Structure formats: structure tokens, C-alpha cells
Amino acid sequence: MAPAPSALITGITGQDGLYLAELLVAKGYDVHGLIRGQNNPKLGLVRELLPTVTLHNGDLTDMSSLIRALRESDPDEVYNLGAVSFVAYSWEQAALTTDVTAKGVLNMLESLRLHCRDDLGRVRFYQASSSEMFGKVQDVPQHERTLLWPRSPYGVAKVFGHHMTINYRESYGMHASSGILFNHESPRRGPEFVTRKVSQAVARIHLGLQDELVMGNLDAERDWGFAGDYVEAMWLMLQQPVADDYVIGTGETHSVREFVETAFAHVGIDDWERFVRFDERFVRPAEVDQLIGDAAKARDVLGWKPRVSFTELVSLMVQADIEAFRAGWK
């Protein structure tokens, strides 16, 4: 019997890392995760959800720790999901964002090149690229050949990682793929991101625990999908005989206002404006006004398509937060 395939995931404590690790465990992989910090607060959660996963201490800014994690795990596939991923924060800590989200990708690719030595196609690599790279969009909808025009330090860092991934593929023949993923959400989304901020607030307002929701730009439009669907696309990319880049999105766009309205509708509140207050603090130095992805290539080559609709996504997030608050977990 062939040995189980193995995978190393950076960013395993994040939203996507958890879903991807669950998917790979279910597929029979021997899963390894990189975990950073001397006392990571997510360690308990990872151990509880993923008891069979092997964790390795390491940080994307520390190349020797990456080489060690590769040596210890000896993976067939590497998924590089680790990043400083909150766009608003990337203006406050632009240099840190560059070190982790940009140079961290180079550190991982270079570590992999050293690890694989004379058989560079041996390990398949996935880079978590982002629709934020499209920024001031030059095509509607955005596809794999749309000109990149990032509008945040995060977006700039992701462009570096994206092109470095393509460069390692072209220079060394590495099986390195880049998924240009549009926004994807879930009950595991960090509370700093707009969808979870709204789902938690609406749940709390519904339960009488909070009476207002303070927001920034309600006019921004995003192509929002469900994270569980998107990690399948990551895996599918690494199963292809030839590495390539793919846009992953739903092909629909909705404003932040629509998200808020749909979330309140889930708890039977139509006059939602009375709960929502604007605060300049949440407005960004430069905004990405509208994103909408054309995932035709992923559909045709990978056979991938999203399963969860916008309304289902909003409802499942609000409902999960209602249940979590009711259970007194938070």
C-alpha cells in the first residue's frame, strides 16, 4: 500500500489553515503545521480540532525554522497560508507586513529549494495570493491576467509573493501554484474582519447584549464566499500535473451595506440603520471599491465551483455567533 501523502501548512491556526487541515486529514494525509510564538494562544484550539496533526515551531521570518520544519515533516505538499492578513493593520505595521507577507514567501520558497536540492519538482507548493492585489481594478470581473494595482501595504506584499512564486516556477521548474482568492468567510473568521464583526454584533444585538454597530465604509463591494469551499480549490490546484495560477471567487459582488442588511434580516430586524453608526476610524487611507472574481479557469480546469450562496453564508455566520453567545463561550 502506498504511504499516506503528507502536507505542511503554514498559518494552520488561521481560518483557512484549520479548514484545510481538516480537509487533508479527512483525505488521509499526514498533516503537519507550522506554529509560531513561545505560547501561541491558538495552540489549544488546534490540538482540540486536529489531534492527529504534528506541529512544528517556526516563523516565516526565520528561515532556519522553515528549513527545520521541512526536514522534520518531509512533506509532499506545502501550503503557505501564513501572513499578516488584516488589510487595515498593514498601514500601521507596513514593515512587519512586508517581512511576513512578502519576504516570508521568499523564505519559504528558498527553504523549499534548498530542501529539495536536485529534485525541485518533488514537493508541490501553494501560495495564498489575494484579490487585494487587484486593488484599483483594471478589469471587471477580475481574472488571472488582470493587471495588478494594489492599494495597501498588504496588497503590495501579496504581489511580491505572487510574482516570486511564479518566478520560482519559471526559474527552477518548481511545482508552485498561486491561488488568487477573493474574500472568503466563516464562523472561524477573525473578529477584526468586517463580516465577523457584523455577525458578532448582530448576534449580540439580537440577544440584547449590545445596542450599536460602529462601521466604516458601507459602500465597498466584495465577492464573498465560504472558506470551506475555498480550501478545496487550494488542494485541487496541487493535484494538477502542471502548476498554474487560478482566481477563486463566486462571480457575485455585494456591498458591506448589503451584508449588514442581510445579517440583520436573519434576526428579523428590517430597520437596521438605527443600530449602525459611522466612525471615520474604520475608513482606510486607500480603499478597494469593488471586487468581483471570474473563476472560469478554476471551473474548467479544476472542476471547482462554490457551494454556499451569499445569503446562506451571512445566515450561517450570524446563527453560529448566536449559538456561541448563547452557550456562553465568549
Q: What residues are annotated to the active site?
A: 130, 132, 154
Taking the least distance from each CB to ligand F7E, the nearer of 54 and 255 is 255
Residue 282 makes contact with ligand F7E by CB under 6 A: yes
Q: Provide CB contacts within 8 A for 310, sequence distance 6+.
A: 224, 250, 252, 254, 262
Q: Both ends of the chain: CA-CA distance in Å?
A: 46
Residue 85 makes contact with ligand F7E by CB under 6 A: yes
* Burial class of residue 142, CB neighbours in 10 A (0-12, 13-18, 19+): buried
Going by C-alpha positions, the residue among 97, 107, 167 that lies closest to residue 132 is 97
Q: Return the one option of ligand NAP, ligand F7E, none that residue 146 interacts with (CB less than 5 to 8 A, by type).
A: none
Q: Which three cell numbers stand for residue 152?
A: 495597501
Binding site for ligand NAP (CB under 6 A): 10-11, 13-17, 34, 36-37, 40, 42, 59-61, 81-85, 100, 128, 130, 181, 183-184, 190
Among 7, 35, 69, 87, binds ligand F7E (CB under 6 A): 87
- Which 38-77 positions form the footprint of ligand F7E (CB under 6 A)? none
Backbone angles phi, psi at 255, to 5 degrees: -80, 160
> What are the start-end ranges of the H helices in the chain?
15-26, 43-49, 63-73, 87-92, 94-97, 104-116, 153-172, 194-206, 227-238, 256-266, 296-297, 310-326
Residues binding ligand F7E: number (CB under 6 A):
22
Distance separating alpha carbons of residues 142 and 81, to the nearest angstrom: 22
Nearest approach, Cβ of 192 to ligand F7E (angstroms)? 6
Q: Return the one option of ligand F7E, ligand NAP, none that residue 40 interacts with (CB less than 5 to 8 A, by type).
A: ligand NAP
Taking the least distance from each CB to ligand F7E, the nearer of 111 and 199 is 199
Residue 284 makes contact with ligand F7E by CB under 6 A: yes
Q: Return the one option of ligand NAP, ligand F7E, none that residue 100 interacts with (CB less than 5 to 8 A, by type).
A: ligand NAP
Distance separating alpha carbons of residues 153 and 269, to the nearest angstrom: 37
Strands 254-255 and 221-222: antiparallel
Nearest approach, Cβ of 292 to ligand F7E (angstroms)? 12
Nearest approach, Cβ of 193 to ligand NAP (angstroms)? 8
Among 61, 93, 217, 255, binds ligand F7E (CB under 6 A): 217
